[in-house]
Structure 1
Amino acid sequence: MKKKHILVISQHYYPEQFRINDLTESLVKRGHEVTVVTGIPNFPEGNFFKGYGWFSKREEMIHGVRVIRLPITPRKNNFLTLGLNYLSYVNTGFLWNLFTKVKADIVFTYAQSPITQAIPAVQYAKKHKVPHLLYVLDLWPESVEAVTGVKSLFVLKQIGKLVDYVYKHSDKILSSSKSNIDAIKERNVSDEKLQFWPQYAEDFYAPKESSPETEIIQDGRLNITFAGNLGPGLGLELLPKIVKRLLEESIYNFRFVMIGDGLSKEKLEKMVEKEHLQEHFQFLGRKPAMSIPQYLANSDVAYISLAPNPLFDKAIPAKVQSTLACAKPILASANGEVQQIVKEANCGFVCDAGNEEQLVEKIKEILKLSKEEIQELGKNSLQYSQEHFSKEKLIDELEEMMEEF
């Protein structure tokens, strides 16, 4: 295809760990010029990363990608400052649009939460009369209601109007899950504008041999590893209850390994401590994304969970693709598309989101498996990844979509 200058709007970018990092670098390797307009890195802890601030590292070249950082308010660890964080990116994005000399051929918005980050993208596309591709990973206003608990019809209606504005001013809307497409259609978006485009796993997500390189305790217990953001909406508060029930049945040969940080980590740690369950949990904190394949290799099963909510039934968390690519069996406490993928791939065990009884039974089933049976499930994971989430094929598709304009 004809090489383009692609302007990427994403409030989060390297050194924050999001899949947009790999996508932009891959587009550069294919000959495109890529400029990213992002914020000052502060996810997930909520404080600016060391070396970054309002007056430092405001522009960088990272692996061939030009990165422009807008001054924003750090998210901290409460919903008030999180809201200010979202609004500050919109405000500084407006000012950037007034004075920027960037001349792009197309705008691509990586629309994880918040959808507000798409406003600077719409402004740029309208001002410079270039097409805007919106990649929807989180549905709004549904995500706001599900994660924050906001129930005000007035607030949700205003957010809905903002979403409608963004959708209206997007030339193409890509969705990371098939279910989200139906939800987007309900906002008067035509079929011609929509396309399913799932996430892929970066190249470093690949099978590895088990080794003593990680802190995961190797004492013969079943290591069930959760790797990712420990945030609300994942139903992680279920785990201490599960552990207690297993211990009551005199089942001790297991451990949950928690890798990551986020708003729910401290609460989960306190629940574990209060119930004296530390022996069956290992909290390892946040790790570089490139180290996760080794942590998974040193685990028996990967744990993926979502809270019971109709919105989350439509989601495919990025860790699904990562886990499949690492040839690791999955224990999923989730409904909808996650459950469907695990069943189709025959790569693990599923239970309904939030169902304690089912999750206890699935862990008991896994404990009965031989090492060879667990490895066979892992092989199924890898095969499904190669067939459905090939990085090269998906980037080919993205280039074809960009070529339409």
Structure 2
Amino acid sequence: MQDNKQTTQEPVQNGELPLDDMSKLEDTKPKDDKPQETGSVSIIKLFKYSNWVDYILLFVGIFGGLAVGILNPLIIMIMGDVFDTFNVSSDSSLDLSNMPLEQQNILNHVIFDSVTSSVNTLILRMLYITLGSTFGKFLYRFCFFILSERIGLKIRKLYFSSLLRQDSTFYDSQETGTLTSHISIDVQNIQKGISQNFGLLFEAIASPITGYVIGFVKCWDLSLVILSIAPFMILGTIFMGSSTKVTRSKGDVYDSKAGAIAEETLGSIRTVQSFNQEKAFSEIYSQNVKSAQKWFVIGGHFLGIGMGFVMFTIFCSITLGLFYGTVVLRGDGGMKNVTAGAILVVFMSNVISTMSLSKISMPASALAISQASAYKIYQIIDRIPDIDATNTEGLKP
């Protein structure tokens, strides 16, 4: 006979398991598969599911946005040239006091022909710039609209496919309705960030840079005076973008929870009524809605404070520019022989470029929101479950 091997177990003392059994139980605890609600992806990872067609649309749209941003400030240069062309009386070399009447008439015809020819040339240049700007705006709006629709459709397909491959432990950690709210709200936020707002971001960046270059070439000292306020404006713009990103991300979390509770309650309304839990679910829904409203209101306050500060800095730069512009016209500035048209170009280009900096906040905020929304969706798309229904590897019967 074979000896039967008896296994011994440590007795249970005071209702507690031995340490070895406790460690085994801890290893079998279910993992927390719930994805993180807050975070953001980089701009490059925002286009991680794009193909070569999407990249062509992206680069063509970026080119159109940069072209519009560069061409718009050039119109200001033409306006300055037109101003100098009409300002014939500023030529101090003309002495008409001792000139005969016939010579004055001849001179008037010469000046008229010269002004007409110069103005016609400038009008054609302005027409070409306007046509180029119009085509560039159409180009980037068209490309980014198609790009956003293509990427949005791909994300929806990948997101739905990822949901189908997940195991039951993943769904146990999710609130009912949260997954559907991601595909309806977050995907739309991603599309808003990479649609026309993305092209507008490049336009808003290229326009002030071009305007500042024009201003420094025409009169560097006046440009420095006007730009002395620009750092404060940049700080205000950064404040608006960062505050909007944080508050919108936190508000979307509570908004998704409220939508999930509403969908779950309405889908099981008979069960809720049978247990007389209408008031309880209503209170939970109201708490999430109020929390989302609180963060959205805080974000609105921050946005208003930042916008007010930016406008204050713009008016300060206008005041300094008007004061120092008169100094330059008198010949007491750093650059000499500066015409009135050049002063107009410097003033307009720097002021408009400084005001254009505030336009960066809107597309930048939309991009920040899309990055935060993509973080939540991409986590689910990239998640590999422990039991993958689509995995064909391993032993097969």
TM range (shorter): under 0.3
Structure ID, larger Rg:
2
TM-score by length of 2: 0.24
Higher strand share: 1
| Higher RCO (C-alpha under 8 Å, 6+ residues apart) | 2
